[in-house]
Amino acid sequence: MSASPSKVEKLKQDLKASIEEAPWSWFAPHVARDAVFLVHSELEMAEVGAHIAADSVQEISAWLTAGKLAKPDQDKIQYWDSVPDKRFRFLIVQPYVLIQFLDH
């Protein structure tokens, strides 16, 4: 089931202001509870967060299937643990934490 476009758009606008940056080390407790999702750079993080908040199953399933929304694998986690100051853009959409590589 998909949420109405107007609901998703409103959520997206609200969530844009909540996007922040943090070093990888900040995400350790969220990784430990298996709540971190990596958002592909082609996707707008606020839009992904809005669809998660609106429980838009079709869109979320499509992103998961395409690999554009995924939990980081152990190799990535181990690498990022070795560079704990690497910074990510993030958005909290309870109970998840969405992360995305910074462009710089």
Taken in order 24, 95, 56, 6, the sign of the CA dihedral is negative
Return the bridge partners of 69, or none.
39
What is the total count of domains within the chain?
Answer: 1
pLDDT digit string (tens) for 53-74? 999 999 999 999 999 999 999 9
Per-residue model confidence (pLDDT) at position 73: 95
Sheet with 69-70: list strands edge to edge: 20-23, 87-93, 96-101, 36-39, 69-70
Q: Given pLDDT bands bounded at 50, 70 and 90, which one contains residue 6?
A: confident
Q: Which two tokens stand for residue 8?
A: 């998703």
What is the span of the domain harbouring residue 68? 5-101
Please state the pTM of the whole predicted model. Answer: 0.91
Q: What is the dihedral of CA 17, 38, 35, 20, to 10 degrees?
A: -20
Q: Given pLDDT bands bounded at 50, 70 and 90, which one contains residue 82?
A: very high
